[in-house]
């Protein structure tokens, strides 16, 4: 009977087939819960970092993606077919999809390339333009800087994309793939709706924080409680989710938005907590390194950008927001990184992903060092 009960629970939560690859999510949930129960200044430092991560990034990511995916599903437009019929618009549209915060747009373009509907130049353009999930962090902390980065990255993407197509540079053979990931559509649970409900006051507190509003002691306690509860609930939802990547067009707008939000949140939590701990105990100060070797900063930004995933990019953006690395390094990183779009692109067409990454590294160095020599040097 006990064995049958465990089996039913596994089927209910859909954990059974995915448990080996989802165990690290459980470790994150346990670590967060344990940190909230600890006493002392270190625990308080971690708690404040978690609150800042939720109110500074997660709640905005959820609101933005929910709006984006709702519109996308409502229009029911096959963008890939439209691009195939209008080849001259492929590069600028792919650039626009890449510039959108997050990696959903870039994944759409990668899938369209694999299906033979767009050119190599369009793939290069979207990977050059995307800043990945780090764009959310920059956008909601320094919107003017974010718009500057988006504009420069878009310019680099359009130039690079058209050059790749015009010069007919090497483009690996396409490998057809029906979808990035196919799992059975899921139904939203009460946990999903509760997480969405907590996001409403969370968004209000987050917007108030951007407006420099100082809450009373009581409201500050309510704000922190909502943020921490939402973070923990989000990690529970993520542990129960069978999605192996955060973008899946087979799901509802609510589940897609929450899947990607929780994926972003896990990296943001890590970046915020790591920075706070290093700054508290080690006096983290990369400004001195920047001053001593400023000429290497754009190269550093590119090298971090070549690392797959959004985690390293979020950490570098966090360091920029704390004044630890210059804008030239941020710009080179934004143009050179492919965010989480690199993972599904590698799965769909590994050679194309690697060549597109190499192509995007060239404008990353040119724009990064161009900014350094013209503005910072």
317 with 134: CB under 8 angstroms?
Answer: yes
- pLDDT value, residue 173: 64
- pLDDT tens for 250-266 read 678 888 888 878 877 77
- pLDDT value, residue 183: 56
Lookup result for tokens 């999930």: 133
Query: Which range among 229-233, 237-241, 326-330, 363-367 shows the weakest confidence by mean pLDDT?
Result: 237-241
**Sign, Cα dihedral of 352, 358, 362, 363:** positive
Lookup result for tokens 């396409």: 174
pLDDT band (50, 70, 90) for residue 112: confident
- pLDDT tens for 11-68 read 434 443 444 446 777 777 888 787 777 777 878 888 888 888 888 778 887 887 788 7
- pLDDT value, residue 209: 78
The 10 Å Cβ neighbour count of residue 258 is 29
164 with 359: CB under 8 angstroms?
Answer: yes
Instruction: Provide the whole-model pTM.
Output: 0.69
Report whether pLDDT(269) > 70. yes
Closest by CA position to 348, among listed 186, 107, 171: 107
The 10 Å Cβ neighbour count of residue 103 is 32
- pLDDT value, residue 290: 56
Stretch 112-126: mean pLDDT, rounded?
84
Average pLDDT, rounded, for the chain: 79
The share of the chain scoring above pLDDT 70, in percent, equals: 78
The two tokens of residue 318 are 């966090």
344 with 112: CB under 8 angstroms?
Answer: no
At 170, phi and psi to the nearest 5? -55, 130
Most confident of 85-94, 148-157, 298-307: 148-157
- pLDDT value, residue 291: 56
What is the full DSSP assignment across 22-40? HHHHHHHHHHHHHHHH--S
- pLDDT tens for 163-209 read 999 988 877 766 544 444 455 667 888 999 999 999 999 999 988 87
The torsion region of residue 24 among left (phi > 0), alpha (psi -120 to 50) and beta comes to alpha
Lookup result for tokens 């809450």: 215
């Amino acid at each position: 009977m006990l064995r049958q009960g465990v089996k039913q629970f596994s089927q209910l939560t859909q954990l059974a087939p995915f448990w080996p690859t989802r165990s690290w999510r459980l470790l994150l949930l346990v670590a967060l819960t344990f940190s909230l129960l600890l006493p002392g200044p270190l625990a308080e430092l971690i708690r404040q970092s978690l609150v800042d991560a939720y109110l500074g990034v997660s709640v905005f990511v959820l609101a933005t993606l929910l709006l984006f995916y709702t519109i996308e599903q409502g229009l029911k437009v096959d963008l890939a077919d439209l691009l195939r019929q209008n080849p001259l618009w492929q590069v600028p549209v792919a650039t626009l999809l890449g510039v959108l915060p997050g990696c959903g747009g870039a994944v759409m373009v990668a899938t369209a390339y694999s299906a033979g509907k767009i050119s190599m130049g369009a793939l290069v353009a979207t990977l050059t333009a995307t800043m990945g999930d780090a764009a959310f962090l920059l956008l909601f902390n320094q919107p003017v800087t974010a718009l500057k980065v988006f504009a420069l990255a878009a310019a680099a993407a359009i130039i690079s994309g058209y050059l790749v197509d015009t010069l007919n540079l090497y483009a690996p053979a396409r490998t057809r793939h029906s979808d990035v990931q196919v799992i059975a559509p899921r139904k939203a649970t009460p946990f999903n709706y509760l997480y969405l409900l907590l996001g409403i006051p969370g968004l209000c507190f987050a917007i108030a924080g951007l407006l420099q509003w100082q809450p009373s002691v009581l409201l500050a306690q309510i704000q922190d409680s909502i943020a921490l509860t939402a973070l923990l609930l989000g990690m529970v939802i993520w542990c129960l989710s069978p999605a192996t990547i955060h973008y899946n067009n087979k799901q509802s707008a609510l589940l897609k938005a929450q899947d990607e939000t929780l994926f972003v949140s896990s990296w943001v939590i890590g970046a915020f907590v790591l920075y706070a701990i290093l700054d508290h105990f080690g006096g983290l100060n990369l400004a001195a390194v920047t001053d001593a070797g400023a000429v290497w900063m754009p190269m550093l930004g590119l090298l971090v950008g070549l690392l797959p995933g959004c985690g390293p990019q979020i950490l570098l953006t966090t360091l920029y927001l704390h004044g630890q690395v210059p804008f030239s390094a941020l710009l080179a990183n934004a143009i050179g990184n492919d965010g989480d779009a690199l993972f599904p692109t590698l799965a769909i067409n590994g050679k194309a992903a690697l060549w597109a990454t190499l192509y995007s590294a060239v404008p990353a160095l040119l724009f990064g060092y161009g900014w350094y020599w013209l503005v910072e040097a």
